[in-house]
Chain A
Amino acid sequence: MLELRSVSLQRDGNEIIKDLSAEFREGHVYAVLGNNGVGKSTLAYIIMGLESYRNYSGSVVFDGQAIDDLTVSERAKLGITLGWQEPCRFDGITVKEYLTLGGKREVPSERLIGVLDIVGLPKDYLFRTVDSSLSGGERKRIELASVILIEPNVVVLDEPDSGIDLMSTSMINRVFDALSDSGTTLIVITHREEIAGMAEEAYLMCGGNMIKNGDPEEIIAYYRTACDDCRHVNEPLKKVN
């Protein structure tokens, strides 16, 4: 469904992503595990086609077609979306407007309330504003709710648990279930083993490349031994696979 073929990206003279290849099959849940600074969020932005990340080399392929020339909107129309690590504030826009894209998407009230329930927010949040009156954690939950409503073909969830307390792992599980139920391919970017453990398959990322992939338990075990104390950011480890 989604493939990254020898993708590389340089920013400010630094090679952030280095000849990275990966494959994500339809309807599966993947974790991309790695320490902070190894290029995980950059990978998410490349997949989404954000303006400042379009000058990569290599190719992003969706359903057999290269989508490198497509803008963010065009990729979104193919059913690719992104759950942001730190969702923006939007002055004057209510949660309901955010979830329905200002009314452009017709969503029954029961569905909106149901999705808020999945992310652990009561229905009165629909009328709150997505600005600084909401905490980072609350905006994160709303971001996850918006992704569920899109029912995307592919979603990259960038650190879905950041800003949300540890007790909410069950909420993250509910979000994954809701997305899986709609047949979404999940690419979950994380540095937390518990979150990676929820995936069906995992990639380990280091120094801008995928250095290992396979069963999440094995990847987590390797991560624990090799990566925990590693201060590695932009120098790739020796490729394991």
Chain B
Amino acid sequence: MALATKYEREFKMISDAYEKSGGDASKFLNKDIVSVIVSGDKLIGRNTVEGVDLRFRQIEDGVELWIEIRDNVRLKQPIHLCTGFMKEKGRQMILIHNRCGRNSEVRFLSHCVFPNGLEFTHKMIADTEVGEDSKLSYEDVHFHSDTGGVSVEATYNTLLRRGAEFGNYFNLTQGRVGKLRVKMKVDLQEDSSAQIESKVYERADDDVHITEELNLNGERASGLARTIVFATDKSKATIINRAYGNAPYSRAHIECKEIIKGDEVNVGTVPVLFVRDEKAELTHEASIGRVNLRQLETLMAKGLNEDEATEMIIRGLLR
């Protein structure tokens, strides 16, 4: 890993926060693993391997990254991205351009750590193209401060070429959420498939707005869009899951599960299905309510109290 000496202290802070969020910081120092570390508006470390090209440039309040995986590259280890902001106040902008060639396979493991954010805004736009018959998954885990002062706007635009497989997983279950806006959009060409999923645990007055969209443009394209939100206290959540069946034999299922605890939560879900080809098939499933009583009583009958049982069920669901 190329790490400028002057950033060693910053790297240590980011690594510590990264480990707290569930990451393994030792991967950053492994020369066989592709890794990128951004702190604030600076790229403080990076490493790449044969078959993966990395470029970056400084932009206002942040970094723009280009990650290109060439044809026929199958990475055994995930690409580790870590974006941190250690100060209490500020703004961070991250632009990512991922391009995966043909017949390649890669997994991204991204951690966004903002452990001290008090008045902090993080904006991220990831544009991804997955080549023919390639497989790419992008797992984005966030770890925010307990102040509720973090605001995140995360946008994922993805194009899947013929036969590509894609997974996009957003997870914010540790610390407070603050204000969260997530937009995931996938355009699918023929025989491609996508699974997009967001999992969020809200506390206090956290505010969440998630839109997941599947555009099934190619024959036999298929997708699953799923959101699971656990809303407590006075938190708010609006979830929109959309699927457009634009091609013959395209199939998609959208699913939203909002589990609530408390009388002051304010949550809603809007499923949107549009079929523009008679041979397309779209389904949806949505539920809003408290934790499944049967599950709750199963664990309570074994000795947990209601709060402990709720926590255990929710932790499992949000995993």
B-binding residues in A (CB < 8 A): 48, 50-52, 71-73, 75-77, 81-82, 84, 87-88, 90-93, 97, 101-102, 104-105, 146, 150
A-B contact count (CB 8 A): 65
User: B294: CB under 8 A from chain A?
Assistant: yes
Counting from the closest, the 10 A-B pairs by CB-CB distance are A92-B316, A92-B319, A93-B316, A72-B300, A102-B312, A73-B300, A76-B303, A82-B301, A88-B295, A73-B305
Q: Which of chain A's residues have a CB closer than 8 A to the CB of B302?
A: 76, 81, 101, 146, 150
Q: Please tell me if the beta carbons of B300 and A71 are within 8 angstroms of each other in the complex.
A: yes
Contact call A150/B303, Cβ cutoff below 8 A: yes
The residue in chain A whose Cβ has the minimal distance to the Cβ of B312 is A102
Q: Is there a chain A Cβ closer than 8 Å to B277's Cβ?
A: no
Q: Which residues of A contact B318 (CB under 8 A)?
A: 92
The count of residues in chain B whose C-beta lies closer than 8 Å to any C-beta of chain A is 23
Given A52-B293, A91-B316, output 7 extra A-B contacts at Cβ < 8 Å.
A73-B300, A73-B304, A82-B301, A84-B298, A88-B292, A92-B318, A92-B319
B300 x A91 contact (CB < 8 A) = no
Which residue on chain A has the smallest CB distance to residue B316? A92
Secondary structure of the B side of the interface?
helix
Which of chain A's residues have a CB closer than 8 A to the CB of B308?
101-102, 104
Confirm or deny: B86 has a beta carbon within 8 angstroms of a beta carbon on chain A. no
**B window 284-319: CB within 8 A of A:** 292-295, 297-306, 308, 311-313, 315-319
Q: Are A73 and B306 also in contact (CB < 8 A) when A88-B294, A90-B295 are?
A: yes
Complex Cα distance, B162 from A162, in Å, reads: 47
Contact in complex: A72, B301 (CB < 8 Å): yes
List 10 contacting pairs A-B, 8 Å CB cutoff, sorted by A: A51-B297, A76-B300, A76-B301, A76-B302, A88-B295, A88-B298, A90-B313, A92-B317, A92-B319, A104-B304
- Cβ contacts under 8 Å, B301 to chain A: 48, 72, 75-76, 81-82
User: A51-B293, A104-B308 known; A77 and B303 CB under 8 Å?
Assistant: yes
Instruction: Determine which of B293, B294, B305, B312 lies in contact with A93 in the assembled complex, contact meaning CB atoms within 8 Å.
Output: B312
Smallest beta-carbon distance A240→chain B, Å: 32
Min CB distance A9 to B, Å, is 17
Cα separation A76 to B306 with both chains bound (whole Å): 12
**What separation, in Å, do the CA atoms of A133 and B10 have in the docked complex?**
43
In the complex, what distance in Å separates the CA atom of A111 from the CA atom of B304? 20
Expressed in whole angstroms, the Cα–Cα distance for A92 and B317 within the complex equals 6
CB-CB < 8 A to B319: which residues of A? 91-92
- Alpha-carbon distance between A91 and B315 when the two chains are bound, in angstroms: 9
Chain B residue nearest to A143 (CB atoms) is B298
User: Are A97 and B312 in contact (CB-based, < 8 A)?
Assistant: yes
Closest Cβ–Cβ distance, residue A16 to chain B (whole Å) = 18
Closest residue of chain B to A149 (Cβ to Cβ) is B302
Instruction: Known A92-B315, A102-B312; judge A87-B304 contact (CB<8 A).
Output: no
Listed residue (A71, A81, A82, A90) with the most chain B CB atoms within 10 angstroms of its CB: A90
Contact B295 A73 (CB under 8 A): no
Q: In the complex, are the beta carbons of B317 and A91 less than 8 A apart?
A: yes
Residue of B292, B295, B299 with most chain A CB atoms under a 10 A cut-off:
B299
Task: Report whether B299 and A101 are in contact in the complex, using a CB–CB cutoff of 8 Å.
Answer: yes
Residues of A within 8 A of B312 (CB): 93, 97, 101-102
Shortest distance from the beta carbon of B317 to any chain A beta carbon, whole Å: 5
Task: State the CA gap A77–B305 with chains docked (Å).
Answer: 9
Q: How far is the CA of A93 from the CA of B316 in the complex (A)?
A: 5
Of B295, B302, B315, B319, most buried by chain A (CB within 10 Å of CB) is: B302
B47 to chain A, nearest CB (A): 32
- B214–chain A nearest beta-carbon distance, Å: 22
Chain B residue with minimal CB distance to A146?
B302
Q: Point out the residue from A51, A73, A93 that lies within 8 Å of B303, measured CB to CB.
A: A73
In whole angstroms, what is the CA distance A146 to B299 when docked? 10
CA distance A50 to B295 in the complex (A): 12
Chain A residues within an 8 Å CB radius of B292? 88
**Closest chain A CB from B91 CB (angstroms):** 35
Residue among A51, A72, A73, A90 making CB contact with B316, cutoff 8 Å: A90
Complex CA gap A88/B315 in Å reads: 16
For residue B251, give the distance in angstroms from its CB to the closest CB of chain A. 20
Please state if B316 and A105 are interface contacts (CB–CB under 8 Å): no
Chain B residue, CB-CB nearest to A155: B301
Smallest CB separation, B135 vs chain A (Å): 22
Contact at B297–A50, with CB atoms within 8 Å?
yes
Set of chain A residues within 8 Å of B294, measured between Cβ atoms = 88
CB nearest to A99 among chain B residues: B302
Q: Which residues on A sit within 8 Å (CB–CB) of B300?
A: 71-73, 76
Q: Determine the residue in chain A with the shortest Cβ distance to B199.
A: A92
Chain A residues near B299 (CB-CB < 8 A): 101
A82 to B308, CA, bound (A): 18
In the assembled complex, the Cα of A84 lies from the Cα of B317 at a distance in Å of 21
Q: How far is the CA of A97 from the CA of B313 in the complex (A)?
A: 11
Q: Which residues of B contact A48 (CB under 8 A)?
A: 297, 301
In whole angstroms, what is the CA distance A88 to B317 when docked?
Answer: 14
